[in-house]
């Protein structure tokens, strides 16, 4: 009977001695993931707010022929836009 008591005591001691509190468990890892996700979402929201605060590029002259444009358009008509895009493709610029 003494051997049985010694075996139980050894089992109890071994369970308490091998607990490693330095290693994160699944819940700790999920909390870290949640915190990282919140930080990323916050950064994305800040970047979107900064991008929307920048003024929209407004042009006064056609990129192709240089004629004045209306309402900040990049081209005076569709022909100029097509010509400009064709030239850019020939140059290898997208």
pLDDT, tens digit (0-9, with 9 covering 90-100), for 6-58? 555 555 555 555 555 666 777 777 777 888 888 999 999 999 988 877 666 77
Q: Give every CB contact of residue 87 below 8 A, 6+ residues apart in sequence.
A: 64
pLDDT at 71: 83
Runs of H (alpha helix) within the chain: 2-17, 26-53, 78-91
Higher pLDDT, 8 or 75: 75
Q: Give every CB contact of residue 56 below 8 A, 6+ residues apart in sequence.
A: 72
């Amino acid at each position: 009977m003494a051997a049985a008591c010694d075996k139980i005591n050894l089992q109890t001691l071994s369970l308490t001695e091998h607990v490693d509190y330095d290693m994160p468990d699944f819940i700790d890892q999920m909390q870290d993931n949640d915190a990282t996700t919140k930080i990323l979402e916050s950064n994305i929201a800040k970047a979107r707010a900064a991008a929307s605060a920048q003024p929209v590029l407004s042009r006064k002259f056609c990129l192709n022929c240089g004629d004045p444009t209306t309402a900040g358009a990049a081209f005076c008509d569709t022909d100029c836009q097509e010509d400009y895009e064709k030239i850019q493709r020939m140059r290898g610029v997208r």
